[in-house]
Structure 1
Amino acid sequence: MDLYFKDKDITGMLVILPSNEIYFEEEMENYNFSTAKSLKLKAALGLNKRRVVEEGVCASDLAIKGLDYLFLNGKLKREDIDALLFVTQSPDYIMPPTSNVIQGHFNLKQDIICLDINQGCAGFIVGLNQAFMLLDQPSISKVILINADVLSPKVSKRDRNSNPLIGDAASITIIEKSSNKTEIFGTIKMDGTGAFSLQIPAGGAKLPISSETSEMVEDVSGNFRSKENLVMKGDDVFNFVQTEVPPMIESLLNTAKVDKEEVDYYMFHQPNKFMLNKVADKIGVNRDKIPSNVVENFGNSSGVTIPIVTWFNAEHEVKQKRLKICFSGFGVGLTWASLIMDVGPFSFCEMIEY
């Protein structure tokens, strides 16, 4: 599905990272794998360290920390928020919506739209699309998009497929109406036939948590996890990304009438370095234009990886000038989505620690 928006702008971006840092070598003994093979895995996927929350910290805690920072430093006014979007796959509660919890915490105005969106790897793109649509309303001028995921508690420490990859993080993106006469081209696709390539089997209504769901079981590759843990079919996900993402980007470039070399950065979701390098080669762009350095420094934090890769690689540029960026997210759902837009100068692009 092709999408098109006009006269909308991202005006600021804040990343919130846990201060707790774990190195790959600290957890190698948990894996049913030799040291040599573990280090080979580390090199192949670009693993090193990741950020994870302390026990008891929820996605809303990271978001509230970020909003507190923006309010206290005069970067955002409470009364200016017309919509608050909270994109996560690790909500605080089944009910109420976490967006309403945050709105209540700050006693924001009642004349506001609060919306939780259950999306993961493509959640930043889905959230931007929703923000752009809301901004078409005359009564909405500023949308706050919060992406936050705390998935590390849902990953088995004995699962070498997922545990070394997963990080926790949040981001806050400010989206507003623009006088710059901007054009934004987008595309989004979904395929539920592959929904179970990435899943947490237990914990919802279909399979409630019980003593049976917490039992640790060894898979054919020697990983141990329970039905309450994240399970990823790595080969399926890799093949999906390599098959679907490059043609999506090529189609989007054609629709937007943009040459691939005109794009300053391709800020993509960060599954791992190996996968992103292969995508860059298939698209036919220099690997430097598709930064792949987030997992090795912070971990894969689902939809938050796109704001992180933007801050980490273009913090100063995006505050100083206009850039043409292709944002793309792909994964759980299965969902894959992209946007091409001009961004900057941002009023802020920063990181704070929780």
Structure 2
Amino acid sequence: MKATIDGVRIAGLRAVVPRQRHSFVEDPGLFTREEAKKLAATIGVQERRILPRPYCASDLCVAAAEGLLAQLDWDPSTVEVLVFVSQDADYVLPSTACIIQKRLGLPTSTAAFDVPLGCSGYVYGLWIAARLLGGSSATRALVLCGDNSSRYLHPEDRATLPLFGDAGSATALEVDAGAPPIPLVIGTDGSGAPHIFVKAGGKRDCLIPPAVSCGEPPRSAEDEARLERDARLTLNGAEVFSFTLRAVPPLLREAMEHAGTTVEGIDWFVLHQANRFMLEHLRKRVQIPAGKFVIDMERYGNTSSASIPLALCSSLGDSLAGGRRKVLMAGFGVGWSWGAMVADIGPVPTPQVAELPDDWPVLAVG
């Protein structure tokens, strides 16, 4: 599907990461030192940021939002759209966005809701929030993207443990009649669902104790062990790679065609930071010059929904503060789900990456 966002601009960005670091290069753990060095060179990750309990992705996003509101000098009462994009809700209910609305002090006229998407979530979130602005009396929106993927990882899974890190982000959108249009392309193929998968935890395969009073039998020790195993992330690397090379080059070309531009007309390509090996294959397949192509996961790992805004803040802060840049952003993965947009960004207050303070209050209810 193709769409176009009109009359809305990206006004600012900010990312927040945990202070806690882990490097498989320095502390190989499951690997020999030689294996760890080769792995880091291939996937492009030297260290990851790990969010300690009891914090959640929402805490990182709230910290990013508070910093961004201060940087933009926006009164929270002027923000009436809040979209929280994450696969890591604080609770089964209520919606985490409702809790964040209160924490940020946004008005009760705010439309606030969760979007449980991962790798494609940033593009989806911007599109949804911008369309809400275009069809309502609201003039400002916040899109918060973040994930706490490290808690899904099995401590002995050599395929996922070195790759995924935690991060949160905030992006501010504002109605602006003079803003250039933002063309985008969106798609979904649910046949990919089993290939990046956390099976247990929802109602289909539940982790909560059985309701014996309602006729559900008690679970055996074997069932408990299975649920614990199925609550971890499983990733079929070969299928992910095959899907990416099959779907993403056409996605990038279609997004540029929809935007009426070419590789030469794009200042920066910022894709979901899946891993270096995959990104380099995509870059060469689409013939994108290395100087225009952002790979920025060495210090953070794959941060799922936060990876695009984190890369924008980490690699392009000065560039986006210095003037208008045409940026192609593309997310792809879990679902399968994908989206790409071509947006003119800047000049904006310098996007920054901050660390979550040690004394940050937990975003909790009750």
Match of 2:225? 215
Cα 1:85–1:20 change in 2 (3 A) is: same
* Aligned residues: CA RMSD: 1.9
Task: Report how far residue 74 of structure 1 moved.
Answer: 6.0
1:239 and 2:277 aligned = no
Distance in structure 2 (CA, Å) of the matches to 1:56 and 1:275: 33
Amino acid paired to 1:243? R
What is the alpha-carbon distance in structure 2 between the residues aligned to residue 43 and residue 70 of structure 1? 33
Query: In the alignment, does 2:138 pair up with 1:140?
Result: yes
Superposition deviation, residue 106 in structure 1: 3.5
Task: Please tell me whether the aligned partners of residues 213 and 227 of structure 1 are also in contact (alpha carbons under 8 angstroms).
Answer: no
With the length of structure 2 as denominator, give the TM-score of the two structures.
Answer: 0.89
Partner SS for 1:352? strand
Q: Relative to 1, partners in 2 of residues 1:330 and 1:104: Cα closer, same or farther, differing over 3 Å?
A: same
**Could you tell me which of 68, 73, 76 is aligned with 1:75?**
73
Q: Relative to structure 1, is the Cα distance of residues 144 and 201 closer, same or farther in structure 2, using a 3 angstrom cutoff?
A: same
What residue is the counterpart of 1:28 in the other structure? 28
Tell me, in whole angstroms, the C-alpha distance in 1 between the residues paired with 2:133 and 2:71. 25
Verify the 8 A CA contact 1:11 1:174 in the aligned structure 2: yes
Q: Alpha-carbon deviation of 1:26? A: 4.8
Partner of 2:272: 269
Would the aligned equivalents of 1:213 and 1:226 in 2 still touch at CA under 8 Å?
no
Q: How many residues align?
A: 344
Write the mapping of 1:87-126 to structure 2, written as runs, cut at 5 A: 87-126=85-124
- Answer whether contact 2:308 2:329 (CA < 8 A) is retained: yes
* In structure 2, C-alpha distance between the alignment counterparts of 1:9 and 1:73, rounded to whole Å: 17
Counting aligned pairs with the same residue, the percent is 28
Are 2:53 and 1:17 equivalent residues in the alignment?
Answer: no
> Partners in 2 of 1:324 and 1:213 — Cα distance?
52
Matching residue within 289, 292, 304 for 1:302: 304
Q: Give the deviation of 1:58 after TM superposition.
A: 0.8
CA distance in 1, matches of 2:40, 2:68: 36
Q: How does 1:194-213 map to 2 (within 5 A)?
A: 194-209=192-207, 212=222
CA distance in 1, matches of 2:324, 2:64: 25
Please list the CA deviations of residues 50-106 of structure 1 after superposition, one character each: whole Å capped at 9, or x if unmatched: 111112111221122223334555633111111110000011011000000111224
Gap runs ≥5 in structure 1: 218-224
Tell me how far 1:208 sits from its aligned partner: 1.4
1:140-178 CA-partner distances (Å, limit 9, x unpaired): 111100001111111112111111111111000001111
Any conservation in 2 of the 1:155–1:162 contact (CA below 8 Å)? Answer: yes
Q: Is the 8 A contact 1:16 1:66 kept in 2?
A: yes
Contact map agreement 2:313 2:351 (CA 8 A) in 1: yes
Moved more, 324-333 or 225-234: 225-234
CA distance in 1 between counterparts of 2:93 and 2:146 reads 17
Q: 1:297 to 1:213 in 2, by over 3 A?
A: farther
Query: Per the alignment, do residues 349 and 38 of structure 1 end up closer, same or farther by CA in structure 2, a change over 3 Å counting?
Result: closer
Is it true that 1:84 corresponds to 2:94 in the alignment?
no
> Which 10-residue stretch deviates more, 42-51 or 204-213?
204-213
- Unaligned segments of structure 2, at least 5 residues: 209-220, 357-366
Note if contact 1:213-1:228 (Cα within 8 Å) is conserved in structure 2: no
Aligned mates of 1:213, 1:69 — CA distance in 2: 45
Equivalent in the alignment of 1:346: 348
Report the 3-state secondary structure (helix = DSSP H, G, I; strand = E; otherwise coil) of the residue aligned with 2:3.
strand
1:251 corresponds to which letter in structure 2? Answer: E
Moved more, 94-103 or 67-76: 67-76
Q: In 2 relative to 1, CA 36–213 (structure 1 residues): closer, same or farther, beyond 3 Å? A: farther
Task: Give the 3-state SS of the residue equivalent to 1:135 in structure 2.
Answer: helix
Q: 1:60 is matched with which residue? A: 58
Structure 1 residue 317 displacement after superposition: 1.1
Please report how far the alpha carbon of residue 47 of structure 1 lies from its aligned counterpart in structure 2 after TM superposition: 2.2
CA shift, 1:291, in A, is 1.3
